[in-house]
Amino acid sequence: MDQTKQQEEDYGYNLFPERNSGKFQKGSIAESLFTFNHKCQVMLQFAMETSPYAKLLLGAMKSSGCAVYKDRHFSCEDCDGTVSGGFDATSSQIVLCQNNIHQQSHMNRVVTHELIHAFDHCRAHVDWFNNFKHLACSEIRAANLSGDCSFHNEVSRFNFGLKKHHQECVRGRALRSILAVRKVSREEAEKVVDEVFDTCFNDHAPFGRIPHDKKDANFAYRDFENRDRYYANL
């Protein structure tokens, strides 16, 4: 196996074939007429404008000097059937899997999940490719703060009733994400997740809390928007 192919498989690029295929150029006629792509673009715009999770993250990134622009930092593409999205650190771009995202609620969660990775990339200078603990920490944070493990979503998966269920959901989803993009054993991935779990699970930036549902996210967004008001009135 050549080095390029090995690199693609090790870092999960094989799950996003359009990252390397150059099948069609962004903004082409073929793309604009492609139904999945158009629907993806519409749902993305709606998520950016209405989701309190996404709006808070976009605001936090802008405040950190990493403003996000829809046309530059998001790309709707066809992906492997096992993934819904990804963050490409080499291009600072979020990939949204247009063939796998069909509902607005799903789009909102994927956009939020990947924006958390983008936020970590901005503020923490994550070494995605060489530091396994950095990757594990960001995956824990994304699972914890994106709503992936909300009560509603877990009930829809028939997963509920366990003690400390939220923590176990976060741990499990972080582990699955790591195994999807790295060629490592489950035992190795579990070991790294366990090593960083407590620290990363309790890092709630930029929300300031775990937004368990949309109501929590709205409160967090309100607090973020009002963060400077007290000092401005002194």
- Tell me the pLDDT tens digit for each residue of 31-82: 444 588 999 999 999 999 999 999 999 999 999 999 999 999 999 999 988 8
pLDDT score, position 38: 92
Confidence of residue 160 (pLDDT cuts 50, 70, 90): low
Instruction: Give the helix/strand (H/E) hosting 34.
Output: none
pLDDT for 14 equals 85
Mean pLDDT to the nearest integer, 181-194: 96
- The string of DSSP codes covering 156-174 is HTT----TTHHHHHHHHHH
What's the pTM value of the predicted model, to 2 decimals? Answer: 0.85
162: left (phi over 0), alpha (psi -120 to 50) or beta: beta
111 near 48, Cβ under 8 Å? yes
pLDDT for res 17? 83
What ranges in the chain are assigned the alpha helix state H?
3-11, 18-21, 29-32, 35-50, 52-63, 70-73, 104-124, 132-145, 151-156, 165-181, 186-201, 214-225, 229-232
Q: pLDDT tens, 96-131? A: 999 999 999 999 999 999 999 999 999 998 999 999
The sign of the torsion formed by the CA atoms of 137, 151, 162, 179 equals: negative
Confidence of residue 227 (pLDDT cuts 50, 70, 90): confident
Question: Which band of pLDDT confidence, cut at 50, 70 and 90, is reported for residue 205?
Answer: very high
In 3D space, the residue among 180, 116, 118, 120 whose CA is nearest the CA of residue 148 turns out to be: 116
Q: Does 208 score more than 50 pLDDT?
A: yes
Active site (catalytic) residues: 114
Model confidence at 159: pLDDT above 90: no
Least confident of 34-38, 161-165, 195-199, 206-210: 161-165
Of 23-32, 196-205, 212-221, the poorest mean pLDDT is in: 23-32
Q: Which residue has the higher pLDDT, 100 or 25?
A: 100
Please report the domains of the chain, with CATH numbers, ordered by start residue.
35-52+59-125 (3.30.2010), 126-210 (no CATH)
Average of pLDDT values for 125-153?
Answer: 90
Q: How confident is the model at residue 154 (pLDDT cuts 50, 70, 90)?
A: very low
Q: How far apart are CA 81 and CA 7, in angstroms?
A: 20
